[in-house]
Amino acid sequence: MTEISLNILDIAENSTAAGAGLIEILVEIDETENYLRTMIRDNGCGMSEDQLSHVTDPFYTTRTTRKVGLGIPFFKEAAELAGGSFRIESERGKGTTVEAVFEYTNIDRMPLGDISGTIRTLIEGHPDRDFLYTYTHNGCTYTMDTRQMREILGDVPLCEPEVLQYISEYLNENKQETDAAAEKEVLK
Amino acid sequence: MKSLEELKAIRIRMQGQVGLRSEDSTQTRVVVGMATCGIASGARPVLTTLSDAVQSKQLKDVVVTQTGCIGLCQYEPIVEVFEPGKEKITYVHMNPEKALDVVNKHLIGGHPVTAYMLQSSEA
């Protein structure tokens, strides 16, 4: 994996496979405190204690097609190599929360990458699920909630190309504005 | 900040148009593998390129979807094309440029791009 946002995409795909109806994705950058925090929280089927204890082992997977499961180990390794930390909590029937924190200026921190592309890809691939995305940079923030969009759209589905185009623009433009405002915060 | 107001305009414009897409029986499905293996080798930009091209070229009979691990991780990013009544075509080691080629030559032109296809001897 070359981007943090690709790891987020991979972990959130697990959430959809776990049958989650709502997936919350949080990206928070704080340059003063020097961290980049990401969290993926779902209300899917969760894991048993036994599964949870093995989940960061690359040679453990619930799949039957092969013997490796690399998504979570990759993410954990990436965070820990960049002076950060990794946490996963899960409860059967309740859901799973994955949190990875990176030291923001660490030389080994991979770039955040195209996070807006990740969110768009998730919505496009799973228009029947809801996503609550929050991006925060130096205290400046914006959110995108598909439940709110669904309410406005009525019977027009989220996966209509025109709607997806709007979602892409919404994500990209609001990120640019949030980052621009965040730069000013740092200079204060 | 881009507002949700525009979404209301889209709804008004789209109303009555939804459901005009063709039935499943005449639909071509383009499927991109989006498991860890696919994502790590570059499936996300391939998927975005495909769906943007299908939209901009107004290909009403084509849907772009995602799937998990196809089981050929070493060939990722993989794109499978299912045309009604035809054998499945599997494209391997894809990138955005190759994806555009597939849209133009295969989905529009009707000729699968042999150079990007998985050869049966390799699998």
Cβ contact A36:A102 at 8 Å: yes
The H or E element containing residue B32 is: strand B28-33
Chain A residues close to B18, C-beta within 8 Å: 155-157, 160
Residue A134 has pLDDT above 60, yes or no: yes
Read off the pLDDT of each residue in A155-175 and give the average, rounded to a whole number: 91
**Percent of chain B surpassing pLDDT 90:** 63
pLDDT of residue B15: 77
User: Could you say which of B18, B35, B36 has the minimum Cβ distance to residue A160?
Assistant: B18
Distance, CA of A142 to CA of A28 (rounded, Å): 11
**Tokens standing for B16?**
């009555």
pLDDT of residue A60: 78
CB contact under 8 A, B45 and A117: yes
pTM confidence score: 0.90
Amino acid found at B115: A
Residue A62 has pLDDT above 80, yes or no: no
CB contact under 8 A, A124 and B47: yes
Chain A residues close to B7, C-beta within 8 Å: 149, 152-153, 163, 166
**Percent of chain B surpassing pLDDT 70:** 89
In angstroms, what CA-CA distances link A141 with A5, A23, A134, A144? Answer: 17, 18, 7, 11
Q: In what order do the strands lie in the sheet with A95-103?
A: A85-91, A95-103, A35-42, A22-30, A130-137, A140-145
Please give the mean pLDDT across all residues of chain B. 89
Greatest CA separation found in chain B? 54
DSSP one-letter code for B73 = G
Question: To probe the interface with B, which of A160, A173, A179 has the most B CB atoms within 10 Å?
Answer: A160
Cβ contact A188:A139 at 8 Å: no
Buried b (16+ CB within 10 A) or exposed e, A83-120: bbebebebeeeebbbbbbbbbbebeebbebbbbbbbbb
CB contact under 8 A, A6 and B40: yes
pLDDT of residue A64: 64
pLDDT band at A188 (very low <50, low <70, confident <90, very high): confident
Q: Using CB atoms and an 8 Å cut-off, which of residues 15-34 of chain B contact chain A?
A: 15, 18, 34
Question: How many CB pairs below 8 A link A and B?
Answer: 94
Residue A90 has pLDDT above 90, yes or no: yes
pLDDT of residue B78: 97
Question: To probe the interface with A, which of B1, B3, B5, B7 has the most A CB atoms within 10 Å?
Answer: B7
Q: Select the more confidently predicted residue: A7 or A155.
A: A7
**pLDDT (tens digit per residue) in B17-65:** 665 555 667 899 999 999 999 999 999 999 999 999 998 998 988 999 9
> Which is it for strands A22-30 and A35-42: parallel, antiparallel or unpaired?
antiparallel
**pLDDT (tens digit per residue) in A2-34:** 999 999 999 999 999 999 999 999 999 999 999
Q: Using CB atoms and an 8 Å cut-off, which of residues 74-113 of chain B contact chain A?
A: none
pLDDT of residue A66: 65
Read off the pLDDT of each residue in B92-101 and give the average, rounded to a whole number: 97
DSSP one-letter code for B2 = -
Residue A158 has pLDDT above 80, yes or no: yes
Cβ contact B6:A166 at 8 Å: yes
User: Could you say which of B2, B7, B14 has the minimum Cβ distance to residue A149?
Assistant: B7
